[in-house]
Amino acid sequence: MADEAYHIGNPPSAESYLRGEKIIEVAEKSGAQAIHPGYGFLSENADFVREVTGRGIVFIGPPPEAMEGMGGKISARLLAIEAGVPVVPGTTEPLKNYEDALETAREIGFPVMLKASAGGGGKGMRLVFEESELKSALETAQSEALAGFGDDAVYIEKAVVRPRHIEIQIFSDKHGNHVYLGERECSIQRRHQKVIEEAPSPINDAELRKRMGECAVKVAEAVNYVGAGTVEFLVSDVDKSFYFLEMNTRLQVEHPVTELVTGIDLVREQILVAWGEKLSFTQDDVQLNGHAIENRVYAEDLENNFLPSPGKITRLRVPQGNGIRDDGGIYEGSEISIFYDPMISKFCVHGRTREEAIGRLRRAL
């Protein structure tokens, strides 16, 4: 829907979408008053935010200090502990060496999870069931972390048995208002990356939702948050105990399911809040209606271990109908590039019940 386009560099993201100065240059050239960073690339880069605001352009997102506080998994854990939010037992400092890892693992008990402090998307993450696996797992996690993020800091935490990945959408404005908009369950994953997200979670009830929501708001308050953010938790399927994992200081790929069940346009709200307006709703206004599911559609070769499958889209037919929403960036004749994530659409359905939503999703897919 854009009516102006500017060339910012070659297709590899290091030569284009990760070059903040090129994006700021385009903003200035085009007269844009604000930059919306989406949910990848520079969306959680505090230095980029400072560059943008230093040029008198509005950044549609949180302040850089909030990004830095929540940017490292270890610093985020410390802030959560300080705010009185439960965290999975583990270290708050990067592991010094194998001996340190072994001592901690014995202390908290196997199974344990090794995680890159600066990581995401499953890189630098290893589940370790017993002592004999720990040394090689630590070495792999550290080398992956260094290659992926330029930082080999790894920490360790207790692995939660039968975990569910449930996150809370929060929204804050510049006037000190913090609201939670229910949860999304993202437990269906592949290679530690989400594939299907739904709202509300099939295991949540009003009481658990309120407790998790209030903890998420505490985390937002701890960093003076502004805008849309997501606080992620691990929830035990056994006893419904929950633990803070991390905070994503941006809009999430799966935000449409929250929009469908709350009726609130999160991107519109982001723009208004960045402009200095108060949230257009209060906690009491937030009502969850029906059930929504998002399915990530990938251009992948399922016969070749789901590797990306680039090429031209020769035919495209997108399902339509009641309760269907397709957030896609593709069309007939467009190219699936080798340079970016093979996710080509966020395909969402909404129904009065979970069963109705699943039925619609099956038919549409």
Residues marked active site are found at: 250
Helices H / strands E in the chain, number of each = 10, 17
- Whether residue 252 contacts residue 295, with contact meaning beta carbons closer than 8 Å, is answered with no
Residue 44 backbone dihedrals phi, psi, to 5 degrees: -125, 30
Contacts of 133 (CB under 8 A, 6+ apart): none
Question: How far from 105 is each of 8, 80, 134, 144, 187, CA to CA, in Å?
Answer: 47, 22, 9, 20, 25
Q: Which residues partner with 298 through β-bridges?
A: 343
Give the whole-angstrom CA distance, residue 18 versus residue 119. Answer: 17
Which DSSP string corresponds to 177-240? -EEEEEEEEEEEEETTEEEEEEES-TT--HHHHHHHHHHHHHHHHHTT--EEEEEEEEEETTT-
Q: Which residues partner with 27 through β-bridges?
A: none
Give the whole-angstrom CA distance, residue 296 versus residue 291. Answer: 17
Torsion of CA 167, 201, 282, 271, to 10 degrees: 50
**CB 322: neighbour CB atoms within 10 A?**
8
